[in-house]
Structure 1
Amino acid sequence: MKGIFRMLFTSVSLVHISSSAPSPAEIQVEKRQVVTSVVTEISSILGSAATGVASDSAVASSLFHDLVTALEQVAPTATPTSVPQAISIINSATSPSPSQGSFFENVVQLIANDFLPSNFVNSISGIVNDLNLIGPNSETNVNLRAPSSAVYPKKQSTDAPYSLTEAQLRQVIYIPPGFTYGQKPPAILVPGTGNTGYETFSENYIPLLTGVSYADPVWLNIPGQLLGDVQVNAEYVAYAINYISGISGNKNVSVLAWSQGNLDTQWALKYWPSTRNVVSDFISFSPDFHGTELAYILCPYLPELPCVPAVIQQEYNSKFVARLRENGGDSAYVPTTTIYSATDEIVEPQQGTGASAYINDARNVGVSNNELQVVCNGQPAGGVYDHAGTLFNALGYALAVDALTHSGPGEPSRLNLGTVCQEVVAPGLSLAQVLQTTGALLISAVSVLIYEPKMFNEPALMAYATS
C-alpha cells in the first residue's frame, strides 16, 4: 500500500523568458495566466474522459496522472493576510457545484492562494510520499503496552472478526510522548478520506486538545490514507477504541472524527459492540452517515472511470451505506454530537433533518445534531464553511468542549451563543492553522488521484455484515 505514495513528480517551474528580469507585476500576471490555463487543461482532461475510452483502466490511470501533472503547474500567487480574508477565499474556491471537475478547479484556486500544507511538503509534487510518513505522521508506530485484558481477536463474543493482525491494527495508533494513560480522559482522533490522522488534525484538534484537563489526544494514521475498503478502515477504529481504553486503566475514551472517519466509527460501533461500553462521546465533524450525492466530484465520471474503493462506498445509498443504516445503524450507539455545514462542498445533502450528517437517537443514548447555519443563523460562526471548515469553526469547537466536559452530547443550550457565534474560528487557532486545515483537502485530492488499485464497483460486504 505504501508504495503508491512513493510517486514523486517533477515540479514545473514558472520561468519568465526574457532578456531582462521581469517586474513583480509581470510575474503576477504570468502566474494568474498559468492558473487560468491549468483550469482549462483540467476541463480538457476530464472532457477526454467522457469519450468512452476511459472505461479502460490503463487509459483511466493516465488521465488521473495527467490531472496531477496539471496541478503541479500551479504556484501560489498570493497569501491571505487575515483570517476573514482566508475564509472569503475558501468560500469562493469551494462553493458547492455539481459540475464535473469543479473540485479540482477549486483545488487549483486554493493552491494559487497558498493553502498548501507546508507543515508537510510545500508543493503538490511532495504532498503525499513515504518520506512524510514518519514521526507523528507514521503508520508503523511501536506500541508495546499490552491492554489490561485481551482485545484481540475479540473482546467479546458478539464482536465481528478482524481481517488484519493485531500488529497491523496496533501500529497505526500514534501515541504522543505526553500521553497520560488514563490520568486524563483519552481522545481518539480519526481522519477523513485521503488523509492520515496527523494530516487532518495537526493544525486544529491536536493543538486544541493538548495540555487540557478534559482530553488526552492520540490519532490514527491508517494505511492508504483511508482510501481502501471502509470496512477495513473501521477495523482500525474498533481496535483502537478497546486498545486505548485497555492501556488507560480501562477508562472510557472519546472519539473525534472528520468526514469518512465518522462512517468508520459508526461501522465499528455497530459491528464491534464491545466498543460501545467504553466510548463516552462520539464527536462527529462533517459526517456523511448517508453517503454523499457529490462522490463523483472526487472521481469525475463515475461510474465510467474507476475510483478508489472508499469513495465508491461513500456514494449516496451505496451498498455499504445502506447496510450501515439497516437495523438501527442510522441511530447513535453512544452519546453523539454532529457538527456540519449546509454549505459543505463534498457532502450533499447536508441541510436540516435530511442532512447526511443527521443521526437519530432510537436508543436514547443522547444525540445533538448541529447545523452551523441553524445554530448560529446569520452570525459569523454560521456563515459559509466548507467540508474542512468545521474543524476550525468556533461553534464546533465549543460543542466539542461541552461534550467532553459534560455527560452526554454537546448541547448548544449550555453555550453562550452570543459570544460563540460571533467568532469566525475557534479561539487559539491562527491564520496559518486555518490555511493548513484547509490544506487537508489538497492532500486528499492528490491522494485520490494517485491511489491504486482503483475499481469500478464497491468492495463486497464482509461476511459478518451479511449474516
Structure 2
Amino acid sequence: MVFSLTQSVDINSYKNNNPSPPSSIYPTLSALDANYHVSEEILRSAIFIPSAFKHGKDGKVPVLLVPGTGSYGGEAFSHNFAKLLLASSFGDPVWLNVKGRMCDASVSNAEHFAYAINYLSAVCNNKKIAVVAWSQGNLGVQWSLKYFPSTRDAVANFICLSADFRGTVNAWGMAPFRGIPCTPSVWHQTRSSNFIMTLLSNDGDSAYVPTTSIYSRTDEIVQPQFGKWASALMHDVRGVGVTNCEVQVAAALKPAGTVYTHETLMINPLAWELASDAICNGGPGRLDRIDMSCCMLTKAKGLNLYDVARTQALTLTCGKAILTFLPNTIKEPTMPKYCMEEKKTYVPVDIAVIEKDAEEEGVVLKPVAPVGVVEVGKEEVPVVEANVSEGMRV
C-alpha cells in the first residue's frame, strides 16, 4: 500500500472517533499504574488509526509512532517511517496526534503514550506492539514505561530516533532562566529539569523493554549526542536487551554515516534497517543481522527526494509551532504528585567535562549557523557542526 498525502482523511487529526477498548484501561489498567489526569476522550481521540489497519490479524506487528516537539504524528512520519511501514511486509503503523503538537507539558504528553500503548494492544487482541518514537516522544515513552508499568507487558520493543533522554544544551536557547516565557515541553527538556532528573533517577536511564536507540552526532537540536555523553544513550541494568547506534560510528566513512540532522535521521538507511530488524525479531535491533551495504545509501530504500525534502521541512514546521505555542510558562511545570516524593538519584554531568571531550571529538555543542540554516520568522533554528567525513548533507 502506498501512503499518500492526497488522501481525503486528515492524517494530523486529534479528534478521531475510536471505539472503546474491549476491557477498561482507564483510569488505570494496573494498581501499579499512575492515575491519568487527561480525560479518556482526549487520550483516545488522539490515536490515528489508518483505515487499512488490520489489528495484527494479517501477521504484521502493530507499530505505534510517537512524534516530537512541534509536530503531529501524521506530518512527522508520513514521508519516512509511516510510508516505509505501510509498504512493508512486517509492520502496520498507527500514530499519535497530540493536541498542541507536543508543546504542552511533557508529563501530559506522556499520558497520551501510555494510554495509546495499552489501547492499541487491547484492540489487537492483546498482541504486543512495537513503539517507534522521535525526539521528545522518546522521553514520554520512557516515562510511560516507568510510571505506567502495565505498558511494559504490551511492548515488544522500543525504537528511539534522535532521543534526548538527558535533555539538550540547546534547550537553553529558548529557556535560559526562570521568568522568560517558554513552551512547557522545552522547559522539561533542559538538562537539569525536574522532569529529566525524575525520569532518569532510580535506573530510569535503563531500558524497561528491549530498546534500540539510534542517533546522530550532527543533530542540530539535541546535544551532546556523541559517545558516552550521548543524550540518547540507553543503559541496560535490567538485562532486557539494548542496542545504541550512533550512525557516524556504525557507518563510519560511508554515506549513511555522514551528516544527518535531528529530523533527517528518520530517512537514514541504517536507522530504517536497524528498526526493521528490531520489529521483525521482537528484541533490540542488531547490526550483525542486517545487510550493512545499506550504509552505502543516503536514504532508506522506498523513499524519494520529495520524502527527504518533506522530512527536512519538519525543522521549519516544528520551530514555528514551538515559537507560537500558547500558553507559555515562566518556569518548568510542576511534576505530578505520583512522582514528587521519589528520591532523585540522577545528577547531570558537568557540561565542562562534556565540552572537553567534545573538543577532542571535533563536535561543537553550542548553536552555530551553517549554510542552510532554517529561519522561523526572525528566529533561527540552530544546528551544530561536526568534524565528520565529507558527504551528502541530508
For the aligned pair, the TM-score class normalised by the smaller chain equals 0.7 to 0.9
Which residue, out of 231, 236, 256, partners 1:381? 256
Report the CA distance between 1:300 and its aligned residue. 6.8
Counterpart residue number, 2:188: 313
**Number of matched residues?**
334
Aligned-partner SS, 2:201: helix
Stretches of structure 1 lacking an aligned partner (at least 5 in a row): 1-118, 121-132
Task: Give, as a single letter, the amino acid of the residue that structure 1 aligns with 2:166.
Answer: H
1:278-357 correspondence to structure 2 within 5 Å:
278-297=154-173, 299=174, 302-303=177-178, 305-357=180-232
Instruction: Report runs of 4+ in structure 1 exceeding 4 Å deviation.
Output: 300-304
**Deviation, structure 1 residue 304:** 5.6
Counterpart of 1:210, as a letter, is L
CA RMSD of aligned residues (A): 1.5
CA displacement 1:9-66 (0-9 Å, x = unmatched): xxxxxxxxxxxxxxxxxxxxxxxxxxxxxxxxxxxxxxxxxxxxxxxxxxxxxxxxxx
**Structure 1 equivalent of residue 340 of structure 2:** 466
Q: Which has the higher helix share?
A: 1
Any idea what SS the aligned residue of 1:282 has? Answer: strand
Map residues 125-144 of structure 1 onto 2, 5 A cutoff: 135-144=10-19
In 2, the alpha carbon distance for the partners of 1:178 and 1:415 equals: 28
Contact map agreement 2:166 2:196 (CA 8 A) in 1: yes
> Which sits farther off after the overlay, 352-361 or 207-216?
207-216
Does the CA-based 8 Å contact 2:68-2:102 persist in structure 1?
A: yes
1:232-271 equivalence runs, <5 A: 232-271=108-147
**d(CA) in 1 for partners of 2:89 and 2:124?**
15
**Does the C-alpha gap of structure 1 residues 301 and 270 become closer, same or farther in structure 2, counting only changes over 3 Å?**
closer
Sort the Cα spacing of 1:407 and 1:253 in 2 relative to 1 into closer, same or farther, 3 A. Answer: closer
Equivalent position amino acid for 1:442 in 2:
L
1:366 has 2:241 as partner: yes
- Which residue type is aligned with residue 287 of structure 2? P
TM-score (norm 1): 0.70
Measured in 2, the distance between the counterparts of 1:445 and 1:455 equals: 17
- In 2, the alpha carbon distance for the partners of 1:283 and 1:223 equals 23
Matches within 5 A, 1:3-402: 135-144=10-19, 146-183=20-57, 184-297=60-173, 299=174, 302-303=177-178, 305-402=180-277
SS in 1 for 2:132: strand
- With over 3 angstroms needed to count, the CA separation of the structure-2 counterparts of 1:321 and 1:300, relative to structure 1, is closer
Gaps of 5+ in 2: 342-394
- Deviation at 1:296? 2.8
In our comparison, the structure showing a higher alpha carbon Rg is 1
Pairwise CA distance, 1:305: 2.8
CA contact (8 A) 1:148 1:250 kept: no
Deviation, structure 1 residue 302? 4.8
Taking the aligned partners of 2:89 and 2:155, their CA distance within structure 1 comes to: 18
Q: Where does residue 392 of structure 2 map in the other structure?
A: none
Say whether the 8 Å CA contact 2:179–2:331 is kept in structure 1. no
Q: Tell me, what secondary structure is at the counterpart of 1:263?
A: helix
Quick check: 2:164–2:232 contact (8 Å CA) kept in 1?
Answer: yes
C-alpha displacement of 1:232: 0.4
Deviations 1:304-342 (A, max 9, x none): 631100001100121100000011100000000001001
> In structure 1, how many angstroms separate the alpha carbons of the residues matched to 2:314 and 2:282?
31
Which amino acid counterpart does residue 94 of structure 2 have in structure 1? V
Which whole-Å CA distance do the structure 2 matches of 1:302 and 1:387 have between them? 24
8 Å contact 1:306–1:455 — kept in the other structure? Answer: yes
Once residues 430 and 437 of structure 1 are traced to their aligned partners in structure 2, the CA distance between those partners, rounded to angstroms, is 11
Q: Which one is further off, 237-246 or 300-309?
A: 300-309
Aligned counterpart in structure 2 of residue 435 of structure 1, from 292, 297, 309: 309
Could you tell me which amino acid in structure 1 is paired with residue 27 of structure 2? P
SS at match of 2:52: coil
Distance 1:296 1:320 in 2: 15
1:303 Cα shift?
A: 4.6
